[in-house]
Homo-oligomer: A and B are copies of this chain.
Amino acid sequence: MPTQPTSIAFVGLGAMGAPMAENLVKRQFRVTGFDMRASAREALVAAGGHAADSAKAAAEGAEVLVLMVVNAAQARSVLFESQAMDALAPGALVILMATCPPGEVEAIAAEVARSGRHLIDAPVSGGVNGARGATLTIMVGAPQDRFDQARPVLDALGDKVFHVGQKPGQGATVKTVNQLLCGVHIAVAAEALSLAEKAGIDGKLLFEIMGGSAASSWMLRDRGPRMHEPDPPVASAVDIFVKDLGIVLDAGRAAKTALPLAAAAHQMFLASSGLGHGGRDDSQVVRAYRALNAKPANDA
């Protein structure tokens, strides 16, 4: 007799969450999703999953709850205010995959533990493409036995699953460091472009050269070409880095650690958002540099 498939509640069916939930369906898990948007719930049902009308209803009796919400406040709201946690099966796993401050993750883990459930701190990187292709990088902070238990679910979502520490919060720390690097790499590509444009160098040729040299970064190759477009499709928004570099700097404050490059990069994302571009693709941090370093208008 076949064993019953693991029942998974999935909350947060956004640009990342929707394809992740669908990847779980494809791996034969029984997935019940919830999102505020009816269209997102309907899309999951069309893909072979189930939908519920509330986070609590999705969590009812589930052995695993995956949280792919926007931030720690939403995770708390789902778990504690919407009472999704108490609806879960006893001993269930709560897999928190949103980017949250490490200190917040520790605090949430403690509350989850008090209810007899277990928090798996498992933030991801790799963006929408990684979510779609199940090629996410997943950075897990959890005791070994819980990590082993969560592994089949994690393996359905990513192909680079790292167990970075035994404590919830350590996954979030690694993700925080990841965002530090990503944010600075995007901003510095924009800074480089800004200097080259001022000197009359063709920006596309510049990035072609830099992308094949020791000056290359994953972000330069990915975001660089979109810096030449006036309004590229949004893979990830400027405001995501306003938030994530904010988390980086908060983690630095909490640990009393000076992070001069992250701080400078955060200013450029903030300025870009303040100029009205927070909802645009994060490559558009270049707009803050162009505002700073524009050539003066000629009288013509």
Please name all residues of chain B whose beta carbon is closer than 8 Å to the beta carbon of A198 when the two chains form the complex: 255, 257
Q: Does A1 contact B (CB under 8 A)?
A: no
- Judged by DSSP, the binding face of A is helix
Which residue in B177, B191, B195, B293 is a CB contact (below 8 Å) of A192? B177
Which residue in B102, B195, B205, B293 is a CB contact (below 8 Å) of A180? B195
Please name all residues of chain B whose beta carbon is closer than 8 Å to the beta carbon of A293 when the two chains form the complex: 257-258
Q: Does A70 contact B (CB under 8 A)?
A: no
The CA-CA distance from A35 to B170 in the complex, in Å, is 53
The CA-CA distance from A195 to B179 in the complex, in Å, is 12
Please name all residues of chain B whose beta carbon is closer than 8 Å to the beta carbon of A217 when the two chains form the complex: 181, 185, 216-220
Which residue in B176, B178, B220, B268 is a CB contact (below 8 Å) of A181? B220
Q: Does A44 contact B (CB under 8 A)?
A: no
Please name all residues of chain B whose beta carbon is closer than 8 Å to the beta carbon of A94 when the two chains form the complex: none
B181 contacts A195, CB within 8 Å? Answer: no
Q: Does A82 contact B (CB under 8 A)?
A: no
Q: Does A200 contact B (CB under 8 A)?
A: yes
Mask, A243-258, CB within 8 Å of B = 1, is: 0000010011001011
B201 contacts A125, CB within 8 Å? Answer: no
B184 contacts A188, CB within 8 Å? Answer: yes
Q: Does A52 contact B (CB under 8 A)?
A: no
A215 contacts B178, CB within 8 Å? Answer: yes
Q: Given A180-B188, A184-B188, A205-B164, decide whether A199 and B170 contact each other with a Cβ distance below 8 A.
A: yes
Please name all residues of chain B whose beta carbon is closer than 8 Å to the beta carbon of A248 when the two chains form the complex: 195
Q: Does A9 contact B (CB under 8 A)?
A: no
Which residue in B199, B202, B213 is a CB contact (below 8 Å) of A160? B213
Mask, A120-162, CB within 8 Å of B = 1, is: 0000011100000000010100000000000000000000101
Q: Does A260 contact B (CB under 8 A)?
A: yes
B215 contacts A125, CB within 8 Å? Answer: yes
B201 contacts A177, CB within 8 Å? Answer: yes
B261 contacts A164, CB within 8 Å? Answer: no
Instruction: List A residues at the B interface (Cβ < 8 Å).
Output: 102, 125-127, 137, 139, 160, 162, 164-165, 170, 173-174, 176-182, 184-185, 187-189, 191-192, 194-196, 198-202, 205-206, 208-210, 212-220, 222, 248, 251-252, 255, 257-265, 267-268, 292-293
A selection of 13 A-B contacts at a CB cut-off of 8 Å is A173-B195, A177-B192, A181-B189, A181-B220, A188-B261, A195-B251, A195-B252, A195-B257, A214-B222, A217-B218, A217-B219, A258-B292, A261-B265
